[in-house]
Structure 1
Amino acid sequence: MFIEHPLIKPKTLEARLYQQIIAANALKKKTLCVLSTGLGKTAIAILVIAGILTKKDGKVLILAPSRPLVEQHYNRLKQVLNIDEDKIIALTGKIQPKKRAELYKKGKIFIATPQVIENDIIAGRINVDEFILLIADEAHHTTGDHAYAFVAKKFKDKCHILGLTASPGSDIDKVMEICENLGIEHVEVRTEDDEDVKPYIAKVKLIPIRIDLPNEFKRALKLINEALKERLKILKDAGVINSIADVTKTELIELNNKLFSYDEEVKYELIKVCSEALKLMHAKELLESQGKSVFLNYINKLSMQRTKSAKSIVNDEKVREAVNLLMKSDVEHPKLGKVVDMVKNILEKNKDERIIIFAQYRDTVEKIVNLLTQNGIKAIRFIGQANKEGKGMSQKEQIEAIERFKKEGSVLVSTSVSEEGIDIPSVNYIIFYEPVPSEIRFIQRRGRAMRGEGGKVYVLIAKGTADEAYYRSALYKEREMKRLLKNMCYLLNKRLQKKFEEKSKEEIKEETEEIKEKEIESKTAVKEETKEEEEKTKKPVTILDFIKQIEVKERSKSEEDKIKQEIKIPKKPIKIIVDVREKNMAKLLHNYANIELKTLEVGDYVLSDRVVVERKTAEDFVNSIIDKRLFSQLKNLKKVEKPLLIVEGENFSRLHENALKGAILSIILDFGIPIIFTKNAEETADLLIKIAEKEQIKEKRTVMVRYGKTAMSLKEQQKFIVESLPDVGGALAERLLKHFKTVENVFTAKEEELMKVEGVGKERAKKIREVLTAEYEG
């Protein structure tokens, strides 16, 4: 059976009762839908879209966490929805901002990554008021500072909401945060244990495969462990940890943060030692779970770092011995050989079988793909987009990889990018190259097999390593999440109900107070009107008086409408160019200024044609002094006329007080750059707004990048030339050009002619003429 609906094409959407029930409830209230992988979250989204658009006209936005998933939703909606295909639009960062602004006017249904929508909200390219439905796919991302959360908060009070996820996590407070950010009023949960979904669930068998490490690895790991224990002993002797045994990476990260607040001088050495211990733990895990190549690449990266902790590890005798031992050996991680053998065995039984292999690191993905290819197996690489090292796949390459895998590939070797939502049908075999401790990622990975006929999930575990702990952790968290999910509907809906009841009480109280205030105002107004009427009755009302009364009412009504329009679209008189890496600050600024996101060569914020600001958190300020980055950045900042450095926060504890004072004095005296300290991001934002207002409103200066490749317009060039005259700022330059029409006329004007322009007195006119007529003494 198929769904029959005027907005859904015939025989394109299977009719499943549980999906229709969830969609019906989701149309009544803002809903979070928790549904096991393979149960058709997209189908529910389509049913809700059709339901909403049947009731009212407006636009729909679907958020998806990755570009391939955006493309997948786009193709599915075109296939199923009975809506003009031109009205269904996929938006990505590859589309120029101006083009996106035009598309928002033309389209009806938009599918985009949250980062694209976040940018367009900040830059004012999208009108949130035009949307009647927001669908957040993979809604578990709607927490913290994620772009999902920012977009959700902007939309939740404006339109209907549907959140979709297979794995919201095992922490009910985290789930409540998701609900809060999305404005959720109701939760729908279905697991594979529910009777109405059992017929549609594919059975998946989880099979751990434990592997012994080779002797060369064991000897190298012993040396790294000895180096690690030396660091942990220093921390124990200092009294900052209780025991050397069983110290976790999480505990060391927490300790490192605590050490910054210590007052004793010894803290600097302890921070260094703690950092070394963390790096050694990471190196150890890489060798245990990934193999020789990934481990050696990491040590090589440390050798290129300037920090004391990195140098200490690279120069450590035991670490060097471990590196030399592995470099001389031709033994690789036994997981690699095991993967090849498993794939061969599966394909021997069925040459048309499809297999997905998940690996944490891109280097490992490359290694597996190469090994499989060497063994005559068609393996397709699938990784995320380019990172700071330049490696990665473009959106087009990602989509092509999925299509090739569907049509001709045997094996897809992927990082975490394909864990979420990517529609890869009939996959019956999944191989985890390593376990992941996150229950969400564990479920997402395993869920790829639940989309087919059901199958097997193999998890490769190196015996006696962190792999064992991560596997146990993921299973425990998944059990906890399932337990939570069983009670989630009741618990969450109860909490949400309580929250909305409290909110309603507050609203009723506010409304009551407002009514009382209005009653008092109304009584006062009635008294005044009565008094006016009594005065009017003293003299007869003429036809002319009557016409005037009508004109006044009409005029006041039109003025009210004008005020309403102005309130609806508040004007932002200033503009700030913000570096794309300063997204969080752009979020704070966009309510008060027009924001243009741009990759800036110098500084973080352009506030006018002469003021450029570099912003650093206290931690980054300290780190940039230590690694010498700061002074090369300041040298660059000197390219602008009026540079400014803002340091935000108060945690300078990593650097000695004398070194900090020396750096500040050097910035002010040697570089001639003013430095301002702020307590937090809000105070920084307030300061940036005030400087921008002074420059743009009071000084009438334009906002532009004066350096780099961007050329000035003719108008800007003319103004720039006139501003070079003595005592002539942006506002006066504009008045001079308006009066004299051309730069040439300004430069040839006599003193008395210059004095006709507002702001030019006798002394200023004399200075201008002196500069223009005095002979140059070379």
Structure 2
Amino acid sequence: MESYFRYDRMMPREYQRRIAENVIAKGNSLVILPTGLGKTAIALLVADKYLREGKRVLFLAPTKPLCEQHRKSFEELMKLEKGDVVLITGELNAEKRRGMWEAGRVIVATPQCVKNDLKKERMRLNFGLVVLDEVHRAVGNYAYTFVAEECRRSGLHLLGLTASPGSSKEKIEKMSELLGVKNIEIREETDEDVRKYVQPIEIRWETVEFPSEMDEIRKLLEQMIEERMEVLRKFEWIKAKNFRSLSKRVLMQVRERIERSSGGVKWMGLSQHAALMNLLHAHELLETQGASTFAEFFGRMEAKEKKSKAVMRILKDGRVKLALEKASQLKVDHPKLEKLRQIIETGKGKMYIVFVQYRDQVKKVVEELNKIPGVRAERFVGKREGVTQEEQKRTIERFRNGEFNVLVASSIGEEGLDIPAVDCVIFYEPIPSEIRNIQRRGRTARTRPGEVIILITKNTRDEAYYWVARSRERKMKRVVRGMQKMLQDRRKGAQSKLTEFV
């Protein structure tokens, strides 16, 4: 039967064809491909096989904007009739969704909708292929986990797509187990079959000194942090000598240990742990964002009507009052802001995305950049700030049309959204997540060489986070390559046994 894929509109690359052929031949697969190398095209080539057989396709993506993007890809790149591609998201009421599940040949939906409607028996899993985009989200209690499990049990062909599955061997193994993975397809920028399609990225640091004017505030916070750690050490809930070695994972483990205690000791421990978490966050804001962002954090704490005992104790501590007083008197802000100004001022005419970890700082960065003649910056934030998905789409469209040249984004700009490729991506601060690092980098060097600049404050956690992310990325590649080899060896073993039997 004639192919549904519109080769007149897009000619797949050789590696895309090869990966799609392997997915079809080898069964449930995990495809790991850097951003911009066309994971969706691979999914469409696999979907083509099922559509030609008269089978239906379910394509899952974690957000509505991503789902809309995929619907558009099917409509533009596949020879399908109007109404063959159906988009189902949480904005539709449950009764309306009931009839829609059976309507199209390709259903594009969010995992949450599928989970809800499977549980209420409003839909059937009558599909040949299920594609799970951004499949690294299939962990814990996320809807993806439930849906993937149901699809695997129903014997459907599963295809997971991601730019990065994470560096934890346990997490990658769980994800592979969940999908019933029999085949892993991974490509890196340096692999022979993709190298000619990859544009070079220049990655460089720009370092700044931590302002000596803020050092006194930092010392006050460190005293308070050390006091909380001393209490937690006394009860052997914590072993770390230095608070800088406390990762989020270690702090979660500490909390779990405290939870296993009983009586008054447990509640005292939880209160000390909560105070430590708040103080560590304040310390990070001071070091990486500046005194004003640090002060705003305490302002929000103070404004809360219901305050925990841990928060009340922090706010009553004379050292916090002194630190806030000193912060209000400072005439300097964080030197990163000035460094950012310099970079963008010298690169006028370029398109930039500036990734900023903390929402308070996004607004500040936009205000500062808009003071530069010839620079137009806008913020790109999520629903928590009251921005609808329609507004997000309009912002991206205006950016694409060149109405402004600097997009200052929170984490919402990292994943999957159809943001145009830019000349330069700037990390306002390094982040310890290899997944988010890969996604951020993928916003440049799509069709032309790109640049990534990482702002780092010397002798602060900025430096540690940079190296953590680098190390985790290397580890991720080692783990995935190891699993890929194991699956290949397993297949060879099964084939040789079959040959012996025959």
The two structures have a TM-score, normalised by structure 1, of 0.60
Give the residue type in structure 1 aligned to 2:135: A
Give the residue type in structure 2 aligned to 1:162: L
Structure 1 residues 22 and 262 mapped into 2: Cα distance closer, same or farther (>3 Å)? same
Percent identical residues: 36
TM-aligned CA deviation for residue 182 of structure 1: 1.6
Structure 1 residues 174 and 86 mapped into 2: Cα distance closer, same or farther (>3 Å)? same
Q: Is the 8 A contact 1:33 1:165 kept in 2?
A: yes
Matched residues in 2 for 1:321 and 1:328: separation?
11
Matched residues in 2 for 1:49 and 1:75: separation?
15
Structure 1 residues 234 and 175 mapped into 2: Cα distance closer, same or farther (>3 Å)? closer
1:433 aligns with 2:431: no
Q: Is the 8 A contact 1:32 1:164 kept in 2?
A: yes
Q: Is the 8 A contact 1:27 1:52 kept in 2?
A: no
Q: Relative CO higher for 1 or 2, CA cutoff 8 Å, sep ≥ 6?
A: 2
TM-aligned CA deviation for residue 493 of structure 1: 4.1
Which residue does the alignment assign to 1:536? Answer: none
TM-aligned CA deviation for residue 97 of structure 1: 2.3
Q: Is the 8 A contact 1:430 1:457 kept in 2?
A: yes
Which residue does the alignment assign to 2:327? Answer: 326
Which residue does the alignment assign to 1:416? Answer: 411
Matched residues in 2 for 1:95 and 1:15: separation?
34
Matched residues in 1 for 2:84 and 2:121: separation?
21
Matched residues in 2 for 1:209 and 1:123: separation?
53
Matched residues in 1 for 2:151 and 2:494: separation?
19
Q: Is the 8 A contact 1:202 1:451 kept in 2?
A: yes
Which residue does the alignment assign to 1:456? Answer: 451
* 1:357-387 deviation line (CA, Å, top 9, x unaligned): 11112222222222222334222322222x3
Give the residue type in structure 2 aligned to 1:133: L
Structure 1 residues 91 and 373 mapped into 2: Cα distance closer, same or farther (>3 Å)? farther
Which residue does the alignment assign to 2:288? Answer: 289
Structure 1 residues 19 and 257 mapped into 2: Cα distance closer, same or farther (>3 Å)? same
Which residue does the alignment assign to 2:387? Answer: 393
- Secondary structure in structure 1 of the residue aligned to 2:128: strand
Matched residues in 1 for 2:490 and 2:363: separation?
47
Matched residues in 2 for 1:498 and 1:40: separation?
32
Work out the number of aligned pairs and report it. Answer: 490
Matched residues in 2 for 1:74 and 1:217: separation?
51
Which residue does the alignment assign to 1:142? Answer: 138
* 1:318-353 deviation line (CA, Å, top 9, x unaligned): 111111111222432221222222122111xxx2x3
Q: Is the 8 A contact 2:86 2:103 kept in 1?
A: no
2:437 counterpart (412, 423, 442)? 442
Which residue does the alignment assign to 2:482? Answer: 487
TM-aligned CA deviation for residue 264 of structure 1: 6.6
TM-aligned CA deviation for residue 199 of structure 1: 0.4
Which residue does the alignment assign to 1:50? Answer: 48
TM-aligned CA deviation for residue 500 of structure 1: 13
Correspondence list, 1:226-237, <5 A: 226-237=223-234
Q: Mean alpha-carbon deviation: is it higher for 410-419 or for 467-476?
A: 410-419
Give the residue type in structure 1 aligned to 2:298: I
Which residue does the alignment assign to 2:116? Answer: 119
- Secondary structure in structure 2 of the residue aligned to 1:196: helix
Q: Give the gaps of 5 or more residues in structure 1.
A: 505-778
2:148 counterpart (145, 149, 152)? 152
Q: Is the 8 A contact 2:67 2:109 kept in 1?
A: yes
Structure 1 residues 242 and 482 mapped into 2: Cα distance closer, same or farther (>3 Å)? closer
Matched residues in 1 for 2:485 and 2:240: separation?
43
Which residue does the alignment assign to 1:679? Answer: none
- Secondary structure in structure 1 of the residue aligned to 2:192: coil
Structure 1 residues 25 and 485 mapped into 2: Cα distance closer, same or farther (>3 Å)? same
* 1:140-195 deviation line (CA, Å, top 9, x unaligned): 11222111111111112242211111111223332221122122221112111211
1:37 counterpart (35, 38, 43)? 35
Matched residues in 2 for 1:177 and 1:499: separation?
23
Q: Mean alpha-carbon deviation: is it higher for 484-493 or for 466-475?
A: 484-493
- Secondary structure in structure 2 of the residue aligned to 1:131: coil
Give the residue type in structure 1 aligned to 2:485: Y
Structure 1 residues 177 and 450 mapped into 2: Cα distance closer, same or farther (>3 Å)? farther
Q: Mean alpha-carbon deviation: is it higher for 141-150 or for 331-340?
A: 331-340
TM-aligned CA deviation for residue 240 of structure 1: 4.1
Correspondence list, 1:178-577, <5 A: 178-242=175-239, 244-246=241-243, 247-250=245-248, 251-263=250-262, 265-303=264-302, 304=304, 305-347=306-348, 351=349, 353-376=350-373, 377-385=375-383, 387=384, 391-408=385-402, 409-494=404-489
Matched residues in 2 for 1:498 and 1:445: separation?
40
Give the residue type in structure 2 aligned to 1:43: A
Which residue does the alignment assign to 2:71? Answer: 74
TM-aligned CA deviation for residue 467 of structure 1: 1.0
The two structures have a TM-score, normalised by structure 2, of 0.91
Matched residues in 2 for 1:442 and 1:248: separation?
21
- Secondary structure in structure 2 of the residue aligned to 1:449: coil
- Secondary structure in structure 2 of the residue aligned to 1:135: strand
Q: Is the 8 A contact 2:128 2:157 kept in 1?
A: yes
Matched residues in 2 for 1:497 and 1:365: separation?
52
TM-aligned CA deviation for residue 499 of structure 1: 11
Structure 1 residues 481 and 422 mapped into 2: Cα distance closer, same or farther (>3 Å)? same
Matched residues in 2 for 1:259 and 1:33: separation?
40
- Secondary structure in structure 2 of the residue aligned to 1:366: helix
* 1:551-596 deviation line (CA, Å, top 9, x unaligned): xxxxxxxxxxxxxxxxxxxxxxxxxxxxxxxxxxxxxxxxxxxxxx
Matched residues in 2 for 1:500 and 1:144: separation?
35
* 1:386-422 deviation line (CA, Å, top 9, x unaligned): x3xxx23211111111111111231111111221222
Q: Is the 8 A contact 1:249 1:281 kept in 2?
A: no
Q: Is the 8 A contact 2:295 2:324 kept in 1?
A: yes
Matched residues in 2 for 1:181 and 1:485: separation?
16
2:17 counterpart (20, 34, 40)? 20
Matched residues in 1 for 2:142 and 2:495: separation?
25
Give the residue type in structure 2 aligned to 1:403: E
TM-aligned CA deviation for residue 436 of structure 1: 0.9
The CA RMSD measured in Å over matched residues stands at 2.5
Matched residues in 1 for 2:122 and 2:366: separation?
42
Off by >6 Å, runs of 4+ in structure 1: 495-501
* 1:253-293 deviation line (CA, Å, top 9, x unaligned): 32232123224744433332232122111110112112334
Give the residue type in structure 2 aligned to 1:255: V
* 1:429-486 deviation line (CA, Å, top 9, x unaligned): 1000111111111111111114231211111111111111111100111111223344
The structure with the larger Rg is 1
Q: Is the 8 A contact 2:445 2:451 kept in 1?
A: no
